[in-house]
Structure 1
Amino acid sequence: MKPLHLIFAAVAFVGGPALSETMATGDLGLVIERASGSVLLVDQSDRAALARIEGLGDLSHASLVYSPDQRFAFVFGRDGGLTKVDLVERRIAGRVVQAGNAIGGAISDDGALVAVSNYEPGGVRVFDADTLEMVADIPTGSKTIGLVDAPGRRFVFSLWDAGETWIADLSGEAPHITRIEGIGQNPYDALITANGRYYVAGLFGEDGLTALDLWAEMPEPTQVLAGYGRGEEPLPVYKMPHLEGWALTGTEFVLPAVGRHEVLWVDARDFTETARTATHGQPVFAMARPDGRQVWVNFAHPLNDTIQVIDTVTKQVVHELSPGPAVLHMEFTPRGHEVWVSVRDAGKIMIYDTRTFEKRGEIDAESPSGIFFTARAHRTGL
Structure 2
Amino acid sequence: MRAMKISSLILAALFVGNLAPAAAADAPALYTQHCLSCHGAGRLGGMGPALLPESLERLKRKDAVATIREGRAATQMPPFGQTLQPDEIEALAGWIYSPVSPAPAWSEADIRASRTEPFPPGSLPDARQGDVAKADPMNLFIVVEAGDHHVSVLDGDRMERIFRFPSRYALHGGPKFTPDGRYVFFASRDGWVSKFDIWNLKVVAEVRAGINTRNAAVSSDGRFVAVANYLPGNVVIFDADLKLLKVIDGANLKGDAASRISAVYDAAPRKSFIIGLKDLPEIWEVSYDPAAKPFFNGYVHDYKMGEAIATPGYLNPRRTVLDVPLDDFFFTQDYANLVGASREGRGQVVNLDVRRPIAALDLPGMPHLGSGISWLRDGRRVVASTNLKDAQVSVIDMQNWQTLATIPTLGPGFFLRSHENSPYAWVDSMMSPTARDTLQVVDKQQLKVVAQIRPEPGKTFAHVEFDRYGRYVIASLMEKDGALIFLDASTFKEIKRLPASKPIGKYNLFNKIQRSEGTSH
The 8 Å contact of residues 368 and 387 in structure 2, kept in 1 or not, is answered as no
Deviation at 1:22, TM superposition (A): 4.7
The offset of 1:241, in angstroms, is: 6.0
Shift of 1:258: 4.1
Which of 316, 322, 328 lines up with 1:176 in the alignment? Answer: 316
1:291 CA displacement: 3.3
8 Å CA contact 1:8, 1:23 repeated in 2: no
Q: CA 1:327/1:241 → structure 2, altered by over 3 Å: closer, same or farther?
A: farther
CA distances 1:234-263 after superposition (whole Å, capped 9, x unpaired): 6xxxxx764343221211111123411111
Q: Distance in 1 between matches of 2:491 and 2:213?
A: 39
Identify which of 472, 477, 484 aligns with 1:343: 477
Q: Which residue of 1 aligns with 2:299?
A: none
The answer to whether residue 151 in structure 2 is matched with residue 39 in structure 1 is: yes
Q: Which residue of 2 aligns with 1:16?
A: none
Shift of 1:93: 1.1
Q: Residue 175 of structure 2 aligns to a residue in which SS? A: strand
Judge conservation of contact 1:241–1:283 (CA < 8 Å) in 2: no
CA offsets per residue over residues 303-330 of structure 1, 9 Å max, x none? 3211111112111110001133122421
| Residues 164-173 or 119-128, more deviating | 164-173
Aligned with 2:331 (options 179, 192, 195): 192
Opposite residue 30 of structure 1, the aligned amino acid is: I
Ranges in structure 2 where 5+ consecutive residues have no aligned partner: 1-120, 251-257, 291-311
The alignment of Structure 1 onto Structure 2 pairs a total of residues equal to 357
1:213 correspondence with 2:351: yes
Deviation, 1:7, is 2.9
Aligned counterparts of 1:266 and 1:292: Cα–Cα separation in 2:
19
1:109 to 217, 220, 227: 220
Which residue of 2 is the match for residue 95 of structure 1? 206
Q: TM-score, normalised by structure 2?
A: 0.64
CA shift for structure 1 position 212: 1.9
Query: Residue by residue, what CA displacement relative to the aligned partner does 1:72-122 show, whole Å, maximum 9, x if unpaired?
Result: 100111111111111121121111111111111211121111111111112
Look up the match of 1:154: 272
Query: In 2, distance between residues paired with 1:195 and 1:334?
Result: 21
User: Which residue of structure 1 lines up, in the alignment, with residue 127 of structure 2?
Assistant: 7
Question: Which structure shows the bigger proportion of residues in strand conformation?
Answer: 1
- Structure 2 vs 1, CA of residues 111 and 223 (structure 1 numbering), >3 Å: closer, same or farther? same
1-side partners of 2:222 and 2:514: how far apart?
10
Q: Kindly, what percent of the aligned residue pairs are identical?
A: 25
SS at match of 2:513: helix
Aligned to 2:427: 297
Give the alignment of 1:1-382 within 5 angstroms: 7-10=127-130, 22=134, 24-59=136-171, 61-129=172-240, 131-140=241-250, 141-150=258-267, 151-172=269-290, 174-182=314-322, 184-185=324-325, 187-203=326-342, 205-214=343-352, 216=353, 218-226=354-362, 228-229=363-364, 242-250=368-376, 251-291=381-421, 293-299=423-429, 300-302=431-433, 303-324=435-456, 325-345=459-479, 346-375=481-510, 376-379=512-515, 382=521
Offset at 1:24? 4.6
TM-score of the pair, normalised by structure 1: 0.86
Q: Deviations 1:280-338 (Å, cap 9, x if unpaired)?
A: 10021122232362221012142321111111211111000113312242111122111
* SS of structure 2 residue aligned to 1:284: coil
Counterparts of 1:53 and 1:91, CA distance in 2: 9
My pick for the range that moved more, 139-148 or 31-40, is 139-148
Name the amino acid aligned to 1:9.
Answer: Q
Which of structures 1 and 2 has the larger relative contact order (alpha carbons within 8 angstroms, sep 6+)? 1
Q: Matches of 1:154 and 1:370 in 2, distance apart?
A: 26
CA distance in 2, matches of 1:291, 1:183: 39
